[in-house]
Amino acid sequence: MARSQTSARKGEPLGDFTETIVDIDVTSEMEGSFLEYAYSVIYSRALPDARDGLKPVQRRILYMMADMGLRPDRGHVKSARVVGEVMGKLHPHGDAAIYDAMVRMAQDFSLRLPLIDGHGNFGSLDDGPAAPRYTEARLAAAALTMTDHLDENVVDFVPNYDNQLTQPEVLPAAFPNLLVNGTTGIAVGMATNMAPHNLVEVIAAARHLIANPDATLDDIMRFIPGPDLPTGGRIVGLDGIRDAYATGRGSFKTRAKVEVEQLTARRTGLVVTELPYMVGPEKVIERIKDAVNAKKLTGISDVVDLTDRNHGLRLVIELKNGFNPNAVLQQLYRYSPMEDSFGINNVTLVDGQPQTLGLVQLLQVYVDHRLDVVRRRTSFRLGKKKDRLHLVEGLLIAIVDIDEVIQVIRSSDEAAAARDRLMSIYDLTEIQANYILELRLRQLTKYSRIELEKEQEELRREIEALEAILGSDQLLRELVSGELADVAEKYGTPRRTVLLESEAVSPTVAASMAAPGPKGKAAALPLEIPDDPCWALLSVSGQIARTSNQEPLAEAGPRTKHDVFRSVVKTTARGEIGAVTSLGRMLRLQVMDMPVLPPVNGLPNLAGGVPAKEFITLLKGETLVAFVPLDAVLAIGTVQGVVKRVQPDYPLNREDWDIISLKDKDAVLAVEPAPEDDTDLVFITKQAQLLRFSAANVRPQGRTAGGMAGIKLAAGDEVIHFGAVRAGDPAAVVVTIAGTNGALPGTAPGTAKVTAFEEYPVKGRATGGVRAHRFLKGEDTLLLAWAGHGPAKASSAAGVARALPVEHGRRDGSGVPLSQPVEAIGPSMAGAESGDAAH
């Protein structure tokens, strides 16, 4: 290094100069400079102080905003103004770094308890904030507890960078900010990464530690079981959390909160309402699309972000038909940020030295800091009270003879003489005498002895209380604990993150994972839905669903809503069935499109189904009549008494076709599988005529045929029920419900009659049948009728269960009065299954 020295004056040419070259060891220079830089980064930038949990830039922002008077009850100011004040007075670095730190303290998805109340675009998990000239800010209510009592000598103040101003070395911090809000920072040779926690839990643990200084980690973890992330989500596995709490280092897995929902009648989806900490929806969508394009993820048809301000995060992942939602979710956890890992590294500054602390040590450092803050605050207040008491006592002495005091002051040549005379005459101290001299005359005379004596007593009580706190460690700890409790009550919120010891799975998922895999490990969930046997169900209230297996649908437990069935079809999860409409159309349905029934008491519950109108597109005036298998001979009955058995020669390249040619004003009433000739077909009309005849009398026809005469109808009569019953079935019954023609549905219960099916004789096809129900006075029609394998069940049109009489009607052939209106009759679970199996 060269240095020149010259005595040349300004304007004169340079003369001779002496050059001095100093040799410096590069290794020593590099070591010294690097250590200075590293220390500056560690102490002055990247690592937080364990006491208030703030880095220097964060501390300076909060202090300067408090000094500017930016309180929660005042208006916002431009963020650029705050950044300028901080940069010019306390933090001589770039404005971008200051604004970034300010923005993070205002983001509710970054901090569990934000310290700045931001107004404007302060960014999101996927986008950055607006420029500081466009945003506004003020202190949040919780930040006031961080800066309160700074004017009461609670912390040390140090000079700023140019020694013109002072700044607090640490903030008083009325709550454990480091644990509540966490932090992250990268220094030189070390880094810190601390997870946020719940304020109520952390304060409860701190209060327990205040009361029990020897508390163990297990004691503290009873209050703080784990982190509480601002964005909620799930934490899976708590072993890593305990390691981090014990040693200061550890990791845990976070997962999104996902629900399987039926998006439409045919489409299932995964709905994400909470994501892992610091993971945004756009990042998730991008990674999912990349994984789908790379063939790592299958079964996903679309991803839609429905997030808004009113409803919060809602990410809808639509699934293709035939894929297991839980298996797809496992893939998403593996190939997308919906599962993330958070590494805890509790490196923080303690007395200016970086240390890695466990949970108990972190709380202990904060508790010691808070005890010191309250002790210093109490000492400061005690000094102020004593000073005021000293002045009040001087006033009490002077007010005894106020006129003489005034005369002494007026007769003195100068203030010093007046002070000396007051001190000698009334035995006052110099401070008391100066205070009396500085008072205006009107102030001195307005004082009353009673008021001063009252203030004196109050000051003495306050001094006694403050001295008691300083003289008792127990009282000091109780005071700190009480103040912490007030903060928790004022700013505490419920826990957002759910803690799971292990991955929670539904019973269905657990059963599918129970099969052992290679080397004894649990087998992974099958990605696609297996072609397992199941039941396709259609209720009389129009609900559609399928079961998860083909277990017997035996009756058990109380009645449930929608448990009266119109059709029960044996099929498989990847199979196809037919849906017949009132216009004689048959539609091909994919069973896997149907929602799977949630079991209740081990039985399927059709309350989890979907309405037929949302699942099947029907024409105007068309209704869904029945579900049928595609490989069986079907018996069709119409409103005008036409019967037809149709062969299963359906087209393979069409989704819908006609299975009967109907006459004008005729409609399909019911369709039943009738492959065997020993099956009896049954018509029941409004005028209570029942015709039972053998299916052997109806030859199977092709799809375009119009059928043949089934029952001979009287004038004005029409069919209200058509069914197929196995001949000789001892459990078969006939249910008829009579009422008044023209009455509004559900206005009158009517009378019901339950009769054994075998009591009705077999007649020839195309005849009028026999009388099935004798009408009582006021009755002139059958409202409902049904024949089939019992026991029969009844419900309202909305699917609510209704009771039927147990007895088989009166001897005269009339029915038994009902207690409630019945608007639908059909087989129960067991009855529908048995009837279907019979065919």
Q: State the catalytic residues.
A: 134
Under a CB-based contact definition with an 8 Å cutoff, are residues 85 and 129 in contact? no
Q: Are 534 and 597 in contact (CB under 8 A)?
A: no
Alpha carbon 592 to chain centroid, angstroms: 29
Tell me how many degrees the CA angle 469-475-476 measures, rounded to the nearest 5: 70
Whole-angstrom distance, CA of residue 585 vs CA of residue 655: 10
DSSP state at residue 112: S
Dihedrals phi, psi of 735, to nearest 5 degrees = -115, 125
HEC states along 331-388? HHHHHCCCEEEEEEECEEEECCEEEECCHHHHHHHHHHHHHHHHHHHHHHHHHHHHHH
Query: What b/e sequence results for 308-323 when a residue is b if at least 16 CB atoms lie within 10 Å of its CB, and e otherwise?
Result: eeeeebebebbbeebb
Structure tokens at 298: 């299958």
Q: What are phi and psi of 484, to 5 degrees?
A: -65, -40
Strands 700-701 and 642-646: parallel
Reading the block at residue 501, the tokens are 């010891």
Asked if 63 and 150 count as a contact pair (C-beta separation under 8 A), the reply is: yes
CA dist., res. 603 & res. 537, Å (int)? 13
Q: Which two tokens stand for residue 255?
A: 């997962």
Contact between 603 and 627 (Cβ < 8 Å): no
Of 681, 684, 687, 682, nearest to 714 (Cα)? 687
Question: 143 with 116: CB under 8 angstroms?
Answer: yes
Cβ atoms of 556 and 602 within 8 Å: the answer is yes
Q: How many CB atoms lie within 10 A of CB 293?
A: 9
CA distance 328 to 319: 8
Q: Which of 485, 495, 503, 502 lies closest to 227, judged by CA?
A: 495
Angle between helix axes 79-89 and 95-104 (nearest 10 degrees) is 120
Closest to 830 (Cα-Cα) out of 802, 791, 788, 786: 791
CB 734 within 8 A of CB 690: yes
Burial class from Cβ neighbours inside 10 Å (0-12, 13-18, 19+) for residue 152 reads middle
Q: Decide: helix, strand or coil at residue 700.
A: strand
SS (H, E, C) 231-263: CCCEEECCHHHHHHHHHCEEEEEEECEEEEEEC
Q: Cβ neighbours of residue 304 under 8 Å, at least 6 residues apart?
A: 315, 316, 318
Contact 307, 281 (CB under 8 A): yes
**Cβ partners under 8 Å of residue 695, min gap 6:** 635, 645, 674, 676, 677, 678, 679, 680, 681, 724
Would you mind telling me the total number of residues written for the chain in this entry? 839
> Is the alpha carbon torsion for 587, 592, 594, 599 positive or negative?
positive
